[in-house]
Amino acid sequence: MNKTDATRMSNAMITRPAPSAVLEVLHPITWFPPMWAFACGVVSSGVPISARWPEVIAGIVLCGPLLVASSQVVNDWFDRDVDAINEPNRPIPSGRIPGRWGLYLSYLWTGASLLLASQLGVWVFGAAALGLVLAWMYSMPPFRLKQNGWLGNGACAITYEGFAWFTGAAVMLGGLPPWWIVTLALLYSAGAHGIMTLNDFKSIEGDIKTGVGSLPVKLGVDNAARVACAVMAIPQVIVIALLLGWDRPIQAAIVGLVLAVQLGLMVRFLRAPVERATWFSGLGVALYVMGMMASAVAVSPFGPSA
Amino acid letter, residue 94: S
- Distance (Å, whole) CA 159 – CA 195: 13
Question: Whole-number mean pLDDT of the chain?
Answer: 93
Give the pLDDT confidence score for residue 306 in this predicted structure: 47
pLDDT for the residue numbered 270: 97
Task: For residue 214, give the DSSP letter.
Answer: -
pLDDT digits (tens, 9 = 90+) for 116-149: 999 999 999 999 999 999 999 999 999 999 999 9
pTM of the model: 0.92
In contact, 185 and 42? CB cutoff 8 Å: no
Q: Residue 11 above 80 pLDDT?
A: no
- Per residue in 247-265, pLDDT (tens digit) is 999 999 999 999 999 999 9
**Residue 256 CA to its chain's centroid (Å):** 23
Q: How far apart are CA 235 and CA 292, in angstroms?
A: 11
CB atoms within 10 A of CB 67: 31
Region 170-179: what's the mean pLDDT? 96
- Please write the tens of the pLDDT for every residue from 268-282: 999 999 999 999 999
Q: List, for residues 81-124, the tens digit of each pLDDT value.
A: 888 887 899 999 999 999 999 999 999 999 999 999 999 999 99
Domains and CATH numbers, the chain: 1-177 (1.10.357.140), 179-306 (1.20.120)
Residue 4 has pLDDT above 90, yes or no: no
SS3 213: strand
Q: Among candidates 237, 278, 282, 284, which has minimal Cα distance to 265?
A: 284
Each residue of 184-239: pLDDT tens digit? 999 999 999 999 999 999 888 888 887 889 999 999 999 999 999 999 999 999 99
Instruction: Report DSSP letters for 23-58, one per residue.
Output: HHHT-GGGSHHHHHHHHHHHHHHT--GGGSHHHHHH
CA distance 60 to 158: 17
